[in-house]
Amino acid sequence: MCGIFGYIGDSNAPTIIHQGLKRLEYRGYDSWGISILQNGNIKTIKDIGHIPETIGKRFVSNIGIGHTRWATHGGVTITNAHPHFSTDRRFVVAQNGIVENYTSLKKKLEEKGYIFKTEVDTEVIVKLVENELSNGKDIQEALIESFTNLEGRNTVILLDSKSNEILAIRNGSPLILGIDKTEIYLASDPLAFNQFTQNVVEINNGELILIKDSNYKIYSIEKKKYIERKPKKVNFSDMNVDKGGYSHHMIKEIIEQQHTILKATQYTQKELAPLIDRLKRSRNIYTIGAGTASFAGDQIAYYLRTIAHKSAISIKSYEAQSYLNIINSKDSVIAVSQSGETADTLEAVEILKKNGVHISSIINMPSSTLSRLSDTSFMSNAGSEICVASTKVFTSQISFGYLLAKSLIGEFTSAKKELSLLSTNLERYFTKKLLKQIEDISKILKNHEHFFILGKGQNYHIAQEGALKVKEISYKHFEGFAAGELKHGVIALIEKETPVISIISKDMNYKDLISATYEVKARKALTIGVGDRKFQKEKCFDYFIPVANSNELKAISNVIPFQLISFYLAKTLGNNIDKPRNLAKSVTVK
């Protein structure tokens, strides 16, 4: 989940790398480091915590690498921060991934006399390269040989002072090249350099990239030969990283949903036709994702079942193993991911792909691994989402799922009208009065630790996603349940003043939600309703948060208050809203 950045060009490398790392910081912000080559020597600066707004003008160079860390092995210390030096300080290495056989490799190297100074698995890679160099190999051969000894999903970048070059190898964890005349950028995510160029070269697993003197070469480790691959232009529109006048990225991204649900569904019937035809012929449709993307997949499967009457099953990518042997070429899989680089999702998709399963994907990042693995791929078009907690991408993905389900039954046009109606209503929804109301409720919730969210039918998965959103940023214990589970154990957890939030919509389930709310109120719970305005006078609610009017898209209307509660509760508590503790946006390790 770490971020990697490399640069060679005519500009000052430390400045460019610093800018790139700031854009990659959502991938991890436990520590950071920059190494550059100056007068034949490698100079390194690194520290723990967030990357500062400026690093000053300590170094001048045209070549260097950088890293922002999400800790896996070893504590958050300056010593453990990347990049890591070789013993003779000839080269430095940074890594994204986990060396799964780290312990056994370290033991063998220690037996050879190598001394380890850090707690990180990356140092094993450094020592392996040192060992290969001592056996007479050049730096490229040494890195390749070392890399073949690693188990797990790893991407490694190396800066060598002797050859004045950057080398990197990709396996699992993402890596992409950006080209602009004499400027070459190498990063975990095109967002890191899209302000400089839209010309990219995709790097596949098992490939080494060598950058020297503003030129690049790609080498296939398996085929043992160089590969010719020219840049292609990728549209990075809307991939900006500024706050647009808002206090935080999160509130900006929540409010942007009034527009992003339309951008996510701007596809024509002709563009959807191949996938629609495939889904019509499929025995079963499986959605797969992790975290918020898994709840998006749950909601998409719900639409496919209830609207299109298809056999649709949602599975968590990190628990997909038991499904892999029953999904075959008669089925279709829709993979959901914000980054397109989620490790658990990619691992499952790779197996399914080998089994001949048709893969479609819904992603928000151009040129991702998942898009390349997919038979058909659709962009969420939500623009850059900088806050670690996903908001607008979630609603963009379920909006696309809704359009897909309606199109399967020939109601493409009515789906577009419904999406347009909700977009218009959301423009009117984000008033100062509404935001103040939610902020005031969040202040009341501040002193509580345990919260429960009840939903049913179309709101069941919204209860789960709503709970995830609030716990991610507030660090409070929120749990989302199907309302029917209340009497099967959950009600035993209800004590005096326990906050219980009920999601209630104008549908066949509303009486069940009102009944459940009265049951917890009888146990002296603090009750909050989220839903259509017609229910705000129900006496079972101590507080009520109205939602934007919609017909079939209650899921989007109802999830937004939880996003806002998450924001205002975290703000009241003084938490870091855009970069919550222990989390990273792109989960590229298992």
What positions carry a catalytic annotation? 2, 585
Tokens encoding 450? 């345990």
CB 298 within 8 A of CB 287: yes
State the helix-helix crossing angle for 292-306 and 460-474, rounded to 10 degrees. Answer: 170
CB 397 within 8 A of CB 377: no
Strand pairing class (215-220; 63-69) = unpaired
Cα angle 500, 505, 511 (rounded to 5 degrees) comes to: 75
**Phi, psi of 69, deg, nearest 5:** -110, 140
3-state secondary structure of 150: coil
Q: Round to whole Å and give the CA distance between 203 and 182.
A: 19
What stretch of H or E contains 475? none
Q: Is the dihedral of CA 590, 50, 366, 220 positive or negative?
A: negative
Q: Round to whole Å and give the CA distance between 263 and 379.
A: 9
Residues β-bridged to residue 288: 315, 335
Tokens encoding 83? 């990049």
| Single-letter code of the amino acid located at 193 | F
3-state secondary structure of 222: coil
